[in-house]
């Protein structure tokens, strides 16, 4: 398992799945990731789990994956076992994306992955995760490109330029065709993407 200080991308980390098996995050190379710390008894649970499933259903075949990490550090709102957490998410919210082992996201015992995420994208009021359902957007190369507050709804992320651009890149890679991809920043500061098919 990589240390947060030596890692160069999310793909350098190995984490535990809900059954305790190691998962090398390099298996997600080429995919856009939304990494979320989840909880089952939070006031944000229903809306976030519902919209996470909607977002995943819409983009799962377009190079997108959600990685959910249960955490009990905020109000003790994720007290259940891994088995109970997975059953709750999959039965009540039809979650099809992977749910991993329960972790700490803050403090000395924070998971190395979360130390890395926070060091790459600090929050508005410091690096610490503030509450359940904080979200990190990771590009297909494993780089942390954006961070969203717990109150940012998953479906609202869909319309951000950052999400749209990185999903586009992942789609083009899945096509396996020859493309030139151009990213430019407009004078208004918006990120846009365009592509040109090259006929070889």
pTM: 0.84
Main-chain phi, psi angles of 67, to 5 degrees: -115, 115
Q: What is the mean pLDDT of residues 149-175?
A: 84
Main-chain phi, psi angles of 154, to 5 degrees: -55, -40
- Rounded CA-CA distance 138/51 in Å is 18
- Rounded CA-CA distance 48/51 in Å is 5
Main-chain phi, psi angles of 155, to 5 degrees: -70, -25
For residue 179, with 0-12 CB atoms within 10 Å meaning exposed, 13-18 middle and 19 or more buried, which class applies?
middle
Task: Evaluate whether 18 touches 83 at the Cβ level (below 8 Å).
Answer: yes
For residue 89, with 0-12 CB atoms within 10 Å meaning exposed, 13-18 middle and 19 or more buried, which class applies?
buried
Residue 193 confidence class, pLDDT cut points 50, 70, 90: very low
Residue ranges of domains in the chain, CATH in brackets: 10-157 (3.40.30.10)
Catalytic residue, from 42, 113, 138, 170: name it: 42
Catalytic residue check, 42: yes
Q: What is the pLDDT of residues 16-75, one digit of tens each?
A: 999 999 999 999 999 999 999 999 999 999 999 999 999 999 999 999 999 999 999 999
């Amino acid at each position: 398992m990589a240390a947060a200080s030596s890692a160069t991308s999310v793909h350098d980390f190995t984490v535990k799945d809900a059954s305790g098996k190691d998962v090398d995050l390099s298996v997600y190379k080429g995919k856009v990731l939304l990494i979320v710390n989840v909880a089952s008894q939070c006031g944000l649970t229903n809306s976030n789990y519902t919209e996470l499933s909607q977002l995943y259903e819409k983009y799962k075949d377009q190079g997108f994956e959600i990685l959910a990490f249960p955490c009990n550090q905020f109000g003790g709102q994720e007290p259940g076992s891994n088995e109970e957490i997975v059953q709750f998410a999959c039965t009540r919210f039809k979650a099809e994306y992977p749910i991993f082992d329960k972790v700490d996201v803050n403090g000395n015992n924070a998971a190395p992955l979360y130390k890395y995420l926070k060091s790459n994208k600090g929050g508005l009021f410091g690096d610490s995760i503030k509450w359940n359902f904080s979200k990190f957007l990771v590009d297909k190369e494993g780089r942390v490109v954006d961070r969203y507050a717990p109150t940012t709804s998953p479906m609202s992320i869909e319309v951000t330029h950052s999400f749209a651009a990185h999903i586009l890149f992942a789609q083009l890679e899945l096509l396996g065709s020859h493309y030139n991809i151009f990213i430019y920043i407009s004078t208004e500061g918006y990120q846009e993407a365009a592509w040109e098919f090259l006929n070889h």
